Amino acid sequence: MSDKPLVDVENLHIAFPREDGGWHEAVRGVSFSLLAREKLGIVGESGSGKSLSSRALLGVLPEHARMSADRLRFDGIDLLQASPRERRKLRGGRMSMILQDPKFSLNPVLKVGRQIMEAFRIGYPALSGAETRRRAIDMLEAVHIRSPERVMDLYPHQISGGMGQRVMIAMMMAREPELLVADEPTSALDVTVRTQVLSIMDELVTRRGAGLILISHDLKLVSRFCNRVLVMYAGRIVESLRADEMHNARHPYTRGLLACLPSIQSTGDPLPVLQREAGWANPEGQP
Amino acid sequence: MILRLLTYSRHAGAWAATVAITLFGLAVLTFVIGRVVPIDPVLAIVGDKASPDVYQRVFIELGRDKPLYVQFATYVSGLLHGDFGQSFVTSRPVLSDLLDFFPATLELSTIGLLIGMVLGIPAGVAAAYWHEKWPDHLVRLIALVGYSVPVFWLGLVGLFFLYFKLDWVSGPGQLDVFYQGIVENRTGSILIDSALAGEWEVFWNAMSHIILPALLLGYYSLAYIGRMTRSMMLDQLNREYVLTARLKGASEFEVVVGHALRNAAIPLVTIVALSYGSLLEGSVLVETIFSWPGIGNYLASSLFRADMNAVLGGTLVVGAVFVFLNMLSDALYGVLDPRAREHLS
Ligand SMILES: Nc1ncnc2c1ncn2[C@@H]1O[C@H](COP(=O)(O)OP(=O)(O)O)[C@@H](O)[C@H]1O
Ligand SMILES: [Mg+2]
């Protein structure tokens, strides 16, 4: 690992206009960085600002969102100064993102193969059609799809969720990005295929030496695949931990999350209810 | 394979049955209308000065003495043989009249639809893309005017300024008197006939005649297609796959046209077919204002002269066109939507 961060975010704020003319602050001063090849997990309950923080990084925030940051850098590139065109060139090429549910994130009227080929066509317009197709098939093989040629000609509604998410991984890893953000990549999948899909993604990321930001609300799952975990609560990062030191968590919210994990040795007592305190949402509330 | 063919033919069978039932319903409707309107077809033929003898003879000739169901059977079997009855006014079979007038309507409304599509779809896409910005406000204004201003008023205003005051376009009719009869009627469309014959002067004269009514119809079609395209694109642009396309690094044009519009095109097919149908039907007013020798004009003048066979024949044709357009859009739906295709094969 080199010392220069691949991603460097400081004091990120994202807000949305409210009906009453005020602003709803969804992300309030998030700072984090990611080294090359590092795997960072972000956990937190739904609505805590995980997706928005990563979408800001890729430059695909909702149109009416207002964003500000002291620093937003990718491999030394100042994303705050970059033109929309420059940011588009980065997307899909050097940084990409996997969304939650392939049922919605794949275009329903285009064949799966064509959607993967599009990723290549955008990045390497000089490639011949046959070569593009060959590479798309290679990508499907890389995500362990058994008869890739057949799958190329299927439409999204003809494949399972697990296969859809592998297609999504193939599409987003096609151009060997240095950063992959996976936003709850298995939440919409059958429990039986979750680990398999995550392992395939992890394998590809590791083999190609990419950095990973894995977003989830499942602390246990994230700590299995990542080096470091950020815990978000109400638009803020309340705790940052090394994955192998989860037991050292100090913030009550994180401890609550840990306590909620069911374990095999559990006594059969009902799981404790997660505690929340309004004070955690304030900067002073951080332990 | 055989199973596939079977399900396909079963589907085609259901389809044909639907069409047949719709057309039958249309025949029932026109038959009933023909019986309940307070117009005596016998009187329309013999005139009110005819003797009771003559009246009685024609009454029997028309089969009016027979029970209603027999009359209906005769009517339907006539329709099946292409017999729509005689027009009392032109003394010709209604079908020949309709075949003479229909091409002019088809020509006018097709050009109107093309204008509506070529301008309306991009306008709707732009309005959705720049939602709540000026292109959106402009398109909504255009659509609003299209919805609220009566077509005859806009037609008369257009004629008054563009023809009478400015003389930029030609007046009512399909051609100036001077150009009539030069080109042999082959397809029924003067534009196509004159272009085929290489008579460009005739062509441009016909063009200067058709442009105003076509623009007028096109405007209404644009208002409808533009508004519907806008709302369908607004829906599609919020979908997750659009975000995926952006995440891949696709250009905004690719995202909007290659992904979102490609999806919006599926319901748009129905919208365009509906618009075409309503142009064919709504041409009654425009054709009357512009003395356009089409079905609309024929229907209107037949109606004023109580020529029921002609009115009902025209209604049947318009209805059949609607059914046909619906069939066509159903078929296109299957071509565009892989999920619908599944049900076919
Ligand atoms: N498009 C949007 N419009 C308005 N508010 C939004 C929008 N997207 C997100 N938000 C707000 O931002 C908060 C955080 O959203 P998000 O980052 O998606 O949460 P998470 O991914 O952690 O579940 C949400 O609770 C919501 O209030
Ligand atoms: Mg989210």
Tell whether the model's pLDDT for residue B120 goes beyond 50.
yes
* Lowest-confidence segment of A40-49, B42-51, B165-174 by average pLDDT: B42-51
Mean pLDDT within A123-131: 95
**In b/e form, how buried is each residue of A97-122, taking b as 16+ CB within 10 angstroms?**
bbbbbbbbbbbbbbbbbbbbbbbbbb
**C-alpha A16, offset from chain centre:** 21
- State phi, psi for A114 to the nearest 5 degrees: -65, -35
Tell whether the model's pLDDT for residue A258 goes beyond 80.
no
| Residues whose CB is less than 8 angstroms from the CB of residue A22 and which lie 6 or more positions away in sequence, other chains included | none
| Residues whose CB is less than 8 angstroms from the CB of residue B106 and which lie 6 or more positions away in sequence, other chains included | B188, B189, B280
Interface predicted TM-score (ipTM): 0.90
Cβ separation of A60 and B240 shorter than 8 Å? no
Cβ separation of A99 and B244 shorter than 8 Å? yes
Type of residue numbered B292: W
Opening angle at CA A120, ends A119 and A121, nearest 5: 95
What gap in Å lies between CA A77 and CA A74, rounded to an integer? Answer: 5
User: Which residue out of B247, B255, B266 would a mutagenesis test of the A interface target, given it has the greatest number of A Cβ atoms within 10 Å?
Assistant: B247
Question: pLDDT tens digits for A52-85?
Answer: 999 999 999 999 999 999 999 999 999 999 999 9
pTM of the model: 0.85
- DSSP string covering B232-276: HHHHHHTSHHHHHHHHTT--HHIIIIIIIIHHHHHHHHHHHHHHH
The shortest C-alpha distance from B224 to chain A (Å) reads: 25
| CATH code of the domain covering residue A54 | 3.40.50.300
What pLDDT, on the 0 to 100 scale, is given for residue B18? 79
Candidates A45, A46, A51, A54: which one to mutate for ligand 1, based on the most atoms within 8 Å of Cβ?
A51
Provide the domain limits for residue A194. 5-285
Specify the higher pLDDT residue, B165 or B253: B253
Nearest CA in chain A to B333: A109
Q: Which helix (H) or strand (E) holds A242?
A: strand A236-242
Residue owning tokens 């997706």: A51
Question: pLDDT tens digits for A150-198?
Answer: 999 999 999 999 999 999 999 999 999 999 999 999 988 888 899 999 9
Tell whether the model's pLDDT for residue A27 goes beyond 60.
yes
Would you call A275 exposed, middle or buried from its count of C-beta atoms within 10 A (0-12, 13-18, 19+)? exposed
Question: pLDDT tens digits for B4-21?
Answer: 555 556 667 777 887 788
- Residue among A92, A105, A155 minimizing CB distance to B249: A92
CB A59 within 8 A of CB A91: yes
Residue owning tokens 């990508």: A139
Count structural domains, chain A.
1
**C-alpha A159, offset from chain centre:** 23
Residue owning tokens 């030394």: A76
Q: How many CB atoms lie within 10 A of CB B201?
A: 11
Tell whether the model's pLDDT for residue A265 goes beyond 70.
no
Domain boundaries, chain B: 2-80, 98-344
What gap in Å lies between CA B131 and CA B140, rounded to an integer? Answer: 11
- Which tokens hold the place of B219? 């405007």
Does the CB atom of residue A19 touch ligand 1 within 6 A? no
What stretches of A124-272 show up as alpha helix (H) in DSSP?
Answer: 129-142, 148-152, 161-173, 191-207, 219-225, 252-259
Residue owning tokens 């030609």: B170
**C-alpha B219, offset from chain centre:** 15
Cβ separation of A118 and B250 shorter than 8 Å? yes
Mean pLDDT within B45-69: 82
Fold of B98-344: MetI-like fold (1.10.3720)
Candidates A14, A16, A50, A99: which one to mutate for ligand 1, based on the most atoms within 8 Å of Cβ?
A16
Does the CB atom of residue A48 touch ligand 1 within 6 A? yes
Question: pLDDT tens digits for B59-79?
Answer: 888 788 888 888 888 888 888
- DSSP string covering B16-68: HHHHHHHHHHHHHHHHHHHHHSS--HHHHHH-TTS-HHHHHHHHHHTTTTS-H
Opening angle at CA B74, ends B68 and B79, nearest 5: 125
